[in-house]
Amino acid sequence: MSAVEVQEAQIAHDLHKVVARDVNVYYGEAHALKHVDLDIGSNEVTSLIGPSGCGKSTFLRCLNRMNDVIEGCRVTGQITLDGEDIYDKSLDVVQLRARVGMVFQKPNPFPKSVYDNIAYGPRIHGIGAGKSEMDEIVESSLSRAGLWEEVKDRLEKPGTGLSGGQQQRLCIARAIAVNPEVILMDEPCSALDPIATAKIEELIDELRQNFTIVIVTHSMQQAARVSQKTAFFHLGTLVEWGDTQELFTNPRDERTQGYITGRFG
Amino acid sequence: MTEVAAPITEIRRPDLSGKRVARRYAAERRFRAYGLTAIFIAVAMLGLLLVSIVSKGYSAFVQTYVELEINFDAAKIDPDGTRDPAKLAAFNYQGLVNDALYAQFPDVTERRERRSLRGLIGNSAGIELRDMVLADPGLIGTTREVAFKSSDDFDTFVKGHISRDLAEADRRVKDQEIAWIDALEADGQVDVRFNTTFFTTGDSREPEQAGIWGAAVGSFLTLTITLLLSFPIGVLAAVYLEEFAPKNRLTDLIEVNINNLAAVPSIVFGLLGLAVFLNFLGMPRSAPLVGGMVLALMTLPTIIIAARAALKAVPPSIREAALGVGASRLQTVTHHVLPLAMPGILTGTIIGMAQALGETAPLLMIGMVAFIVDIPGGFTDPATVLPVQIYLWADAPERAFVAKTSAAIMVLLTFLIFMNAVAVLLRKRFERRW
Ligand SMILES: Nc1ncnc2c1ncn2[C@@H]1O[C@H](COP(=O)(O)OP(=O)(O)OP(=O)(O)O)[C@@H](O)[C@H]1O
Ligand SMILES: [Mg+2]
């Protein structure tokens, strides 16, 4: 690295919560993500858009090392969180995941009660000592995810008995219950109706005060509404990224242009 | 517009004709019929087995008793009147029984006839009288009605397993004896009672004194060891292999070997037990401890394979969910994966234990296939197990052991049913799959 590059990298680290440099992901032989450089700002919403199969989820899963559990998945390059390399050997993955929470593409509540779904995270991280404190965490998490009114009378009922959209909101509530610094959301609204979607978007906007958010979405309107930064992926490469406003009104690359105008995808 | 319209590709809609529907219905009906036939055959086989066992074995649960008037003659039992227990114990009480018999049938005077008359009563009668007198010396000098177990031939005859219509030479009970039995029955001295002895004693050469309790206790002790060893080891091995071990050549090799181990003939485990536990480690022969260890070796692969299958069946999304909120791998396994896999693991364990309960071959090599009279009191006492007991009785020459064999099978089946019931119950408790 030249002196200038080092200086630039330093600036990037100072300004951004998460910095990804030359990230490559391989599933066995398949090169799923190619040379991705992306900075994710603190207290900002960054949305990842792109056609299906372009590597959005893959990139998202790199940020909390969920790819570690996939057999045959290999990640190269560097990703830092607050300037710390998250792929460093000395870093504890469990702590990383407590700091970087995740809402998965498919709702995956625990086969436990609604209450326990929310309380599990705080419990294992030593948040919420007493019963009343835990009750409070559960209620506030569920309210923020817009689910409280629907489930307050059935907190002891199984979380898997909720509808698909309710389950997704339960998973969002579960993720925010541990107050991570970064929240990764993989298409959190794909199973929701417009009203619930609006609630989640409101929540995202509100969460931005305290959290850094990365969201994968297939809806360009949603990306435009909730995010400050947008990154466009195509066939495993990051084609371009920047201010959402800028990217949607004035795309530099013609692939981006094609995608946002609906010519392919 | 010109007439060069592209050739319209023909749209092929699903064929909804009645013929297709009828064919589908017929196929479904046929399949149902095959299924019902299969179930019918299975149930019929099971029914046949049960009927044959129960019809042969039920009579072993009762025992014929003969009531005799016993004169506890003080002059004979305790001539000096000291009531010294040592002396009381030394007396030959069988004589009192014989006297009672001779008094009942005064015409029988010839020696050979007298011997067969004495043979009507089981030869534990003297011991029973002695125990009665030692427990209550006040009996001395009185005359009492005492019920004795009849001999096994008498018992078998009363239960109708020996036919009167047979030629005398082919019959174990001769005409003379039948006459005595009839006389006793006419007097109301013959009584068929519930056979408590069968459930309280160990094995014996005399059918009327042989019981299943020794073998049942032996089986219980052996299976306790088997469960205590194979369940934790099997589950830990499965969890490690499935959740933690890296997938590489070595783990593949281990997996193949475990699967092979499950198919090894059980006698081989017995030989291993003989070589390692008895000869090398010098552990006691015929002991439930060693038997349990050998059976644990045999059960281990079954439990590991079942547990791995159960762990594999837990959806990966549950693991991701737990890891995603920052649970460690161990927390993920113990809080989420293992509870969900538990019903499957328990099913596998019970299958393994049921196999172990019915196993004789490996026990042969470590001396548990043996004639053992005493009821084992601990894990290192000589013991035998239920299937071995069945084998020994099936091999015994006396006619009365035929019923005992079937009765022992019934006890074994009861054990199995009990174990399966426990498994179902435990599964119900854990199966909160929602
Ligand atoms: N576990 C896996 N094993 C092998 N290949 C995978 C795996 N997960 C994803 N891939 C491949 O990696 C590429 C990127 O997948 P990814 O899930 O990141 O796409 P995506 O952008 O999230 O798509 P979508 O919008 O449909 O969710 C795809 O070609 C996919 O087939
Ligand atoms: Mg995806």
A53 ligand 1 Cβ < 6 A? yes
Please list every residue in chain B whose beta carbon sits closer than 8 Å to the beta carbon of residue A64: 324
Give the gap in angstroms from C-alpha A54 to the nearest C-alpha of chain B: 21
pTM reported for the whole predicted model: 0.83
Spell out the domains of chain B, with CATH numbers in brackets: 60-195 (no CATH), 213-430 (1.10.3720.10)
Give every residue of chain A whose pLDDT is below 50, as ranges. Answer: 265
Contact B324 A97 (CB under 8 A): yes
Interaxial angle between packed helices B316-324 and A164-177, expressed in degrees from 0 to 180 and rounded to the nearest 10: 30
A56 ligand 1 Cβ < 6 A? yes
Give the gap in angstroms from C-alpha B245 to the nearest C-alpha of chain A: 12
- Here the tokens at position B125 are 């009668």
Q: A21 C-alpha vs ligand 2 centroid, how far in Å?
A: 21
CA angle A152–A154–A156, rounded 5-degree value = 115
Q: Which of A110, A117, A156, A183 to mutate to test the interface with B (most CBs of B within 10 A)?
A: A110
Q: What is the number of the ligand closest to the CA of A74?
A: 1
Interface confidence: ipTM more than 0.85: yes
DSSP state of B275: I
Q: What is the number of the ligand closest to the CA of A58?
A: 1
What's the pLDDT at B1?
Answer: 47
- Euclidean distance between CA atoms A127 and A134, whole angstroms: 8
Q: Which of B324, B325, B434 is closest, CB to CB, to A111?
A: B434
Ligand 1 atom 1: residue of nearest CA: A70
* DSSP E strand stretches across B142-230: 143-149, 190-194
- Residue A178 contacts residue B326 (beta carbons within 8 Å): yes
Contact B331 A124 (CB under 8 A): yes
Question: Could you tell me the end-to-end alpha-carbon distance of chain B, in angstroms, rounded to an integer?
Answer: 63
A57 ligand 1 Cβ < 6 A? yes
* DSSP E strand stretches across B28-133: 62-71
Instruction: Per residue of chain B (434 residues), give pLDDT as tens.
Output: 455 556 667 888 888 888 989 999 999 999 999 999 999 999 999 999 999 999 988 888 888 998 888 888 888 888 887 888 888 888 888 888 888 888 888 888 888 888 888 888 888 888 888 888 888 888 888 888 888 888 888 888 888 888 888 888 888 888 888 888 888 888 888 888 888 888 888 888 888 888 999 999 999 999 999 999 999 999 999 999 999 988 889 988 998 999 898 889 989 999 999 999 988 998 888 889 999 999 999 999 999 999 999 999 999 999 999 999 999 999 999 999 999 999 899 989 998 999 999 888 899 888 888 888 888 888 988 889 999 999 999 998 888 888 899 999 999 999 989 888 888 888 888 776 54
